[in-house]
Amino acid sequence: MEVQEGSVRISVDEVFYNPRMRFCRDLDMLVFAALDSKEYFDALSASGVRGIRAALEAGKVAVFNDVSPKAVEVIKENLRRNGLSADVINGDAAAVMRQKSFEHIDVDPFGSPAPFMDSACLSARKYLSITATDTAALCGSATNSGLKKYGAFAVKTDVYHEVGLRVLIGFAVREATKYEKALLPLISWAKEHYYRVHFKVRRSTSMSARIYEKMGFLAYCSACLRKKVLGFGEGAERCKCGEVFRIIGPIWLGELKDRGFVERVAGMAEGKLKEFLNKILIEVDVPTAYSLPALAKIHSLTLPPAESVVGELKKLGFEASRTHYCGFCIKTDADRDEVVKILEINQT
């Protein structure tokens, strides 16, 4: 079967191809166009759709790799169909990245990127892009999987995408520091069944140490949903409501995006992509998020629009915004009691 996606036509016979990831790839192409890099290593290529699009739509010199000989055949055929020639490697992505460095690496696997992260961090010189589809392991739905793959403890919260993205970024950041590299998120998002993060890579002894100032934990109360940020070495008392906090982490506490970068990408976007990027842009960068229906339910309150809660919080001088990943969630540095007070005032 041949499919058309973006400006390419590709065969997807006997290789993995997920049409549901088209939006992700469309957005990736704008991201790639905004990066000052030439070389792009598509470490787990399957049909090669991402690398071929990166070459044709973002002007990259793509290098392809897949462990499956069938995939390699299909990639070569797809390069021919699109009038391109490129290096195509038939290897284990981790082994390839251990032996050679690449300017920009993309790790887009089935499930978890964890098995590839060590070598990807060693190899990537300027940029690293990762996808994870094992969201249950990341967001606290599958606590043991999260511990085994990402070395982080999480439980189910009211805002699983926020926790999941931060566990994923935190893991990647920790994998890189042993190579004296700091990973800085340029843009990240949670959508449907997957998380996607594009990092800038900086090789610096001091930056890779300082990055731990942005790592830490979230003290989470499952009774009242209160969340408190904890740095490394900090402790948490009991929650104000009397419950014991559960400590989630280590996680990334820093920015999920580089605002200037996302503005540049949004400047090139149209339609649904632009709408999505604008949602990312309005987000404040605090790690404390709340599901308004979950908070309202605890106190048997009715729900005002998220936008008006955000407005009230801002009037009180707090940082607050909606989120890109959930229409009824907010992010704020205000304590959960402040949010509940606003819900109470808004009762009709």
Ligand X SMILES: C[S@@+](CC[C@H](N)C(=O)[O-])C[C@H]1O[C@@H](n2cnc3c(N)ncnc32)[C@H](O)[C@@H]1O
Task: Determine, following the binding rule CB under 6 A, whether residue 68 of this chain makes contact with ligand X.
Answer: yes
Residues in 139-158 at the binding interface with ligand X, rule: CB under 6 A: none
- Distance in angstroms (rounded) separating the CA atoms of residues 275 and 80: 35
* Nearest approach, Cβ of residue 122 and ligand X (Å): 15
* C-alpha–C-alpha distance, residues 236 and 332, integer Å: 19
Binding status of residue 60 toward ligand X by CB under 6 A: no
Q: Which does 288 bind (CB under 5 to 8 A by kind): ligand X, Zn ion, none?
A: none
**Residues whose CB is less than 8 angstroms from the CB of residue 18 and which lie 6 or more positions away in sequence, other chains included:** none
Binders in 189-248 for Zn ion, by CB under 5 A: 221, 223-224, 226, 239, 241, 243
Tokens of 255: 């920015």
| H-type alpha helices, 160-258 | 160-177, 205-210
193-230 burial, b at 16+ Cβ within 10 Å, e below that, comes to ebbbbbbbbbeeeeebeebeebbbbbbbbeebbbbbbb
Beta bridge partners of 331: 289, 321
Q: Using the rule CB under 5 A, is 319 a contact of Zn ion? A: no
Task: Print the binding letters for residues 103-122 with ligand X: x by CB under 6 A, - otherwise.
Answer: -----xxx------------
Task: State which residue, 16 or 212, has the beta carbon closest to ligand X.
Answer: 16
Residue with Cβ nearer Zn ion (104 or 227): 227
Structural tokens at position 290: 């709340």
93 binds, among ligand X, Zn ion, none (CB under 5 to 8 A by kind): ligand X
Q: Which of 27, 32, 34, 47 binds ligand X (CB under 6 A)?
A: 47
Is 23 a binding residue for ligand X by CB under 6 A? The answer is no
Positive or negative, the CA dihedral 43, 143, 322, 329 is positive
Contacts with ligand X, residue ranges (CB under 6 A): 15-17, 21, 44-47, 49-50, 65-68, 71, 92-93, 108-110
Contacts with Zn ion, residue ranges (CB under 5 A): 221, 223-224, 226, 239, 241, 243
